A and B are shown apart, each in its own frame.
Chain A
Amino acid sequence: MKKTTHFAAALGLMAGLAISASTAPRAASSNDAPAAAPVNGVIGYILTDEVWAVYQTPEGKQECPEGLNAWGPREQFKKMFVDDGKKRTLEEAQLAWEAKIWHPELGEDPFPFRGPVGNVSYGVNLDGRVDADDQITPDGVKGIDNQLYRAIGCIEEFRGPTGILHFLVNRYLRDFEFNRVLIEISGVEDMVNDPHVDVTILRGRDRMMADATGNDIIPGGSNRVDMRWGKKYVQRLTGKIVDGVLTTQPSDVTLPHAIFNQIPGEDHMKGAVFQLKLTPERAEGLLAGYSDIDNWYRQLNHSWSTHHQSYGQLSSPSLYKHLHRLADGYPDPKTGKNTAISSALAVKFTQVFIQHPPKEVASR
């Protein structure tokens, strides 16, 4: 693992890398056979699921052999403010804890912290190197850079299917139009192998179409591009399709991400790449890149309150320290300390007909 990754270094990543296994936590159905080419060389997808990629074995026995992280907000609060009969004001206790969240400090974590052991992880080789401390996918792909997993992998909050950040995120992703993310792949001559395709990230403005069970999003829906307030999310990437897997060139990517009450938020990734197994109805895989730590941390706490974090033993003040300890990219020019951490979002898309606005509207 390279501790100081520069954007330029990431440009040479993953040439010819067989990533389909590493990007497919769930097998595609047999109905999802690749098609030769979409109509007019264009196919659109809508983002339906996104969670931080966490490698899990049953009950975490392999990656978290000592158990999941046990020191969340409740446990730390109890330790910090022992029930010794001393009267404390709100400011001296609860608000003091909240202040630690919003004004986190670097340094040693005073509480025990459990991170995953071993080097198995989902992710992408972001720096194009295979270093000794890099991770390896369950299917044996080496050189994986996913330091975020080393920070969050044993925190129940991030683990499926019960972790709040695992299941609630997707509920809000689907419910809130603010979060509507579309990708349009154009110039596709062959859905299985195409040396050059264009990928445009767009903001949608319509609801997704749930299936009869209410649990999935059906392909074949339509969604209009939001050119009213979504222009900032229009991002153009290039990529290629190899053996049915789309891989884009590294690029900074920003996705809208609102949680409760549609309070606006964003996920920022630097040097980000999509690795998506494509079928005419689905696209599934990873969006991997370097997450700016301060933004990532702010987004976490901006979205999830202490009570949510308490359910999954997620202590933000502790996590902040470990995020910086594990940071591996984009060093600060002045201090030389890394400001970003390699990470991977497990993402799923469903095919959608993207409806572009008339040109005169789009040009306003």
Chain B
Amino acid sequence: MLVSSVRKSLVPSALALAAALGLASCSGAETSTAKNAPVVKTVPEPAVAGSPALLRLITSQQYVNTLVHTFGKDFKIETQFPPHRRTDGLLAVGAATAGFPAGQIEQYQRAAATVAARVVDAGHRDFLIPCKPVDDKKADAACAAKFLAATGRMLYRRPMDQKLLDEAVLKAGETGDRLKDFYAGVGVALEGMLIAPEVLFISDTSEPDPNNPGQSRLDAYSLASRLSLFLWNASPDDMLLKAAESGEIQTPKGRARIVETMLASPRLETGMRAFFDDMFGFDRFDNLAKDPNVYPAFTGVTVQDAREQTLRTAYNFLVTKGHDYRDLYTTRETFLSPALAALYQLPTPPYWVPYEFPADSPRAGLLTHISFLAVHSHPGRSSPTVRGKALRELLLCQPVPRPPANVDFSAVENPDPRLRTARDRLNFHSENPVCAGCHKITDPMGLALENFDGAGRYRKTEGGAAIDASGRLDGKEFTDVIGLGVALHDHPGLSSCLVRRMFSYATGANVRDQTTLGYLNESFTAEGYRIPDLLRTIALSNAFSRVAEPYTPPGKTAAAAPATEVSR
């Protein structure tokens, strides 16, 4: 089994406060470009530990995005690599402990074969291969090397090692001669590159930090990769690689220029949608199914559109418009598609349109999107507990204990017909003191969402009884879902959870260093809870590029400690 939980060799580091502050002064948090951004208060970055150097398995979306950036839109192939294990709230963190058995390499190989064949086919070769062979029925090492070196630089996220390049050219030559087809030979060599460990695994390489003796930093190419995966969810492009080659990316001014360019790029939308998709746990959509007899209006199109609605809303509201992150949970702005409009019981044209729920609508904020309501429900009924748990874990970073193995679910799964509403059933269920403890954590806010069934459709009654949607969230009481949205908006854990998730997503590790998170939280607050500013702050921070000492639990040696456990 190939695994990515390999710790990179790290240069022993020590905090050099003065040097760190020197870099922090160039972190440039005041150069906000977000629309509607307020005057930004600069928060200086304190001395931070940094984040670990990791080996991460590339995701299928990162792989495809890289192909598209390298070869063009024709290469947006449909492929689905094995999913990562959600770790500390994110699939991105699970990428650092992901691996695959030899049997699963076939999935990668199939994708590689498809891409390689398409690159060298008659319809693409003339503009993807920058030279023509002397005789297309024979090998041509010079032409093959020119193409493979240029392509390998993009796929490997750095210039190819000469030995690897030579091997690829040799393979192209042998195959080309044997098949009497130069392009077939190049295709075989390319296929091999596309499944090379150096391509499938994203390796952070550290180096001594010349500006901070005794400390380590990501090398230029690793920094380029980390930035690109964070902001674009793809491998670095030519601009980033050139900045790495020239060393510009390691200078405060150069890095600031590059980050601004990346934030202004259309690729930012791809990157941010990937982040929100991960943070909101939308991988659940990949396996979401509803009972068609219970929810006939919830179709396969609904599944796609519900996910799209929230991602589109989040990006437009938070990044394009630069609104306060907390307002995502109270805003009535969203987008509608025909399939969703049927569930929302609204008229709409036959395409996506911006939409604002009226002031008297029971819909406001992300919690009332069909995505959140349907994903966090059972196939045939809603679930205040599942919804409350999701709210706690996904949005407030508060883990909810798993139910005990011997819990009696009969009251909710095969209920007494006299218990007509979910509140009735849960009250009955919670009479068991073993159950009551956890349900107190989840149900008071989950019950506020009961005006929406398991498909997210509005309802006033359940089983003929009026639904009581009152509840409370950590001491704040409300009477309906609108009140829940406000309570969530005002919850101090909402913004700090986002900060934690975003930094973990950016670095691939669940960094819980309080100095780092405190700094980022303070900056986020000072900047008006605006996502573009937080992206910039993270991307320019020392915490992002500095390589931390691996955490060694007491009583263990450094070599035995898992690479991701860098929490302090």
Contacts and interface: CB of A to CB of B under 8 A. Distances in A.
Interface of A: 206-207, 209-213, 216, 218-222, 224, 353-355
B342 A221 contact: yes
A224 B349 contact: yes
B143 interface: no
A225 to B, nearest CB: 12
Given A206-B350, A222-B349, 20 more contacts: A206-B338, A211-B292, A212-B290, A212-B292, A212-B295, A212-B299, A216-B296, A220-B342, A221-B338, A221-B341, A221-B342, A222-B338, A222-B350, A224-B349, A224-B350, A353-B341, A353-B346, A353-B348, A355-B347, A355-B349
Contacts of A211: 292, 296-297, 299
B297 A222 contact: no
Interface string B280-311: 00000000001011011111100000000000
Contacts of B343: 220
Contact of A222 (B290, B295, B296, B347): B347
A353 B293 CA distance: 23
Contacts of B414: none
Nearest to A221: B342
Nearest to A223: B350
Nearest to A280: B345
Choose among B296, B345, B348 the residue with the greatest number of A CB atoms under 10 Å from its CB: B296
B298 A209 contact: no
B169 interface: no
A206 B349 CA distance: 9
Contacts of B296: 211-213, 216, 218
Contacts of B293: 213
A207 B293 CA distance: 22
Contacts of A212: 290, 292, 295-300
A21 B285 CA distance: 44
Interface of B: 290, 292-293, 295-300, 338-339, 341-343, 345-350
Contacts of B346: 220, 353
A209 B342 contact: yes
Given A211-B299, A212-B297, A213-B296, A218 B290 contact: no
Given A220-B297, A222-B347, A222-B349, A209 B339 contact: yes
Contacts of A213: 292-293, 296
Contacts of B338: 206, 209, 221-222
B342 A218 contact: yes
Contacts of B341: 220-222, 353
Nearest to B289: A212
26 contacts: A207-B350, A209-B339, A211-B292, A212-B290, A212-B292, A212-B295, A212-B296, A212-B297, A212-B300, A213-B293, A218-B296, A218-B297, A220-B297, A220-B342, A221-B341, A221-B342, A222-B342, A222-B347, A222-B350, A224-B349, A224-B350, A353-B341, A353-B346, A353-B347, A353-B348, A355-B349
Contacts of A224: 349-350
Contacts of A221: 338, 341-342
A206 B350 CA distance: 7
Contacts of B292: 211-213
Contacts of A354: 347
The 5 A-B residue pairs with the shortest CB-CB distance, nearest first, are A353-B347, A212-B292, A211-B296, A220-B342, A218-B297
A219 B295 CA distance: 12
B183 to A, nearest CB: 43
B306 to A, nearest CB: 13
